[in-house]
A and B are shown apart, each in its own frame.
Chain A
Amino acid sequence: MNSAGRRTRKDSGSGDNSSRTMRTRQDSTIKDINGVLSVRFLDDADALEKICCISKTAPKMSRVGELLRNSQHLISHRAETPMSVADPDSESEPESPPAQPNAALTELNSAQLEVEDTVRGTAVFGFQRCHRRSHLRRVAEEFAQKSPVKTSAVDIKLPGTPRRGCSGLPASIGSGRRGGRRPVSRTVDDRNRSRSRSRSPPPARSRSRSKSRSRSRSPPPPQRNGRTPSTPKSAAGRTPQTPRGRASAALPTKTPQTVRRKVKLRLSKLKQEDIAVSDDDDDSDVSPLEDSSEDEYKAPLEEEEDDDEESEEEDEEGEEEEQTSTVPPAAVRGRGGAPRRRPELEPAAVSAEDYFSLHSAGGPTSNHTLSRLSEPRLSGAALRALLDARPTDHAAERAALLTDLEIMFPHWLAAVSHGFNILLHGLGSKRDVLERLRRQHLRERLHMVVSGYHPSVTPRQLLLTLLEEALDVPAPPSKLEAQLEAVERRLAAPGAPALFLLVHSIDGPMMRAEKMQYVLARLAQLPRVHLLASADHINSPLVWDQHKLAQFNFLWFDATTLLPYTEETSYENSLLVRQTADLALSSLRHVFKSLTPNARGIFILLAKNQVERASDKTFDGMPLSELYQRCRDAFLVSSQVALRAQLTEFRDHKLIRTRQSHDGVEQLTVPLEAALISEFLASCEDS
Chain B
Amino acid sequence: MATSSLTKSCFVFKPKSGGSSSAALDSSQYFAGLSDDMGIQSAERRSQTFNSTWQTAEKLCTDFQEEMFNTVFHEMIEYLQGSVDIEEDAGIPTATLITGVNMPDHTGVFRSLAERLRAQVTAHVAVLEAASCTTVQATVRAMVRQLTAAGEPLSPDVPVVDEDDEDDCLLDVPDQTSRQRRAPATMPALVAHYEAAQETVASPKKRSPRKRARTAPQRRPLVVVWRDLEAFQPRVLQDLVLICSQYRSRLPISFVFGVSTCASAVHRLLPQHVSARLSLHKFHSQLATHCLAEMIDKVLLSPSMPFRLGGRALRLLLDIFLYHDFSVNNFISAYKFCMLSHFLWSPASALCCEPGQLEERVEELTGAQVAGLRALPSVRAYLDDLEQEERHTLQHDGVFKEWVLHMAPKLHSKHEELLVGLRCLFALTKRLPGALLGKQFREAYNLALLHALPERDEYKRTFQLLNMLSRQELTATLEHALEAVSGSGSALSTLLRTQLDRVRALDDRPTPVSAEESSQQRRLVADTLKQATSRQSLRESLQSMGAARNARLNPYETLRSALLAELDEHLRGLIVQPSKWPFNECVVFDDVSLVRRRLVGAPRSSVQTALADPAKYLQCTCCQLGDAASIRPTMPDLCIVYKLHLECGRLINLFDWMQAFRAVVGASDDDQTIQARFAHCVAELQFLGFIKSTQRKTDHVARLTWGSC
Contacts and interface: CB of A to CB of B under 8 A. Distances in A.
A475 B9 contact: no
**Consensus secondary structure, chain A interface:** mixed
B638 to A, nearest CB: 8
Given A393-B634, A539-B689, A576-B683, A383 B27 contact: no
A41 interface: no
Interface string A362-391: 110111111111110010001100110110
Contacts of A453: 687
Contact of A411 (B30, B627, B686): B30
A418 B336 contact: yes
A465 B655 CA distance: 44
B483 to A, nearest CB: 37
B649 A538 contact: no
Interface in B1-53: 3-4, 6-17, 20-22, 24-27, 29-34
Given A323-B663, A444-B20, A558-B597, A378 B676 contact: yes
Interface residues of A, number: 159
Contacts of A475: 160-161
Interface stretch (B216-224, B561-569, B690-698): B690-698
B446 to A, nearest CB: 23
B648 to A, nearest CB: 5
A357 B3 CA distance: 45
A565 B633 contact: no
A121 interface: yes
A117 to B, nearest CB: 4
A127 B325 contact: no
A401 interface: yes
Interface string A115-134: 00111111011111111000
Contact of A498 (B24, B654, B680, B688): B24
Contacts of B27: 413-414, 417-418
B12 A337 contact: no
B620 A576 contact: no
A338 B10 contact: no
Interface in B665-692: 666-667, 669, 671-673, 675-680, 682-684, 686-690
A575 B630 contact: no
Interface stretch (A14-22, A218-226, A455-463, A665-673): A455-463
Contacts of B666: 114, 323
B603 interface: yes
Interface stretch (B354-362, B424-432, B437-445, B700-708): B700-708
Interface string A407-435: 00111011111111001011110000001
A59 interface: no
A679 interface: no
A131 B708 CA distance: 13
B387 interface: no
Contacts of B607: 425-427, 538, 560
Contacts of A569: 680, 683-684, 686-687
B707 A490 contact: no
Interface string B617-634: 111100000111111111
B25 A417 contact: yes
Contacts of B160: 473, 475-477, 482, 486
Nearest to B142: A481
A131 B14 contact: no
B103 interface: yes
A446 B21 contact: yes
Contact of B684 (A127, A530, A565): A565
B104 interface: yes
A323 B648 contact: no
Nearest to B154: A489
A355 to B, nearest CB: 5
Contacts of B709: 348-350
A638 B191 CA distance: 58
A492 interface: yes
Interface residues of B, number: 130
A303 B371 CA distance: 67
Interface stretch (B180-188, B298-306, B327-335): B327-335
Contact of B649 (A336, A456, A473, A485): A336
Given A337-B648, A365-B700, A401 B693 contact: no
B325 A572 contact: no
Most buried by B among A358, A420, A453: A358
Given A414-B34, A537-B689, A556-B601, A492 B707 contact: no
B611 interface: yes
A634 interface: no
A442 interface: yes
Interface string A337-366: 111010000011111001100110111011
B647 interface: yes
A229 to B, nearest CB: 12
A537 B699 CA distance: 23
Nearest to B667: A114
A522 B158 CA distance: 20
Interface string B647-668: 1111111111101111110110
Contacts of A557: 597-598
Given A124-B656, A572-B683, 15 more contacts: A131-B627, A323-B633, A349-B709, A367-B653, A409-B33, A414-B27, A446-B13, A446-B14, A449-B10, A470-B12, A537-B688, A541-B603, A560-B607, A569-B686, A575-B683
16 contacts: A88-B656, A120-B656, A124-B657, A358-B649, A378-B672, A417-B30, A420-B333, A427-B610, A443-B16, A466-B10, A477-B164, A538-B608, A545-B103, A547-B104, A569-B683, A576-B682
8 tightest CB-CB pairs across the interface, nearest first?
A121-B663, A550-B104, A556-B601, A337-B649, A410-B33, A350-B707, A425-B603, A576-B679
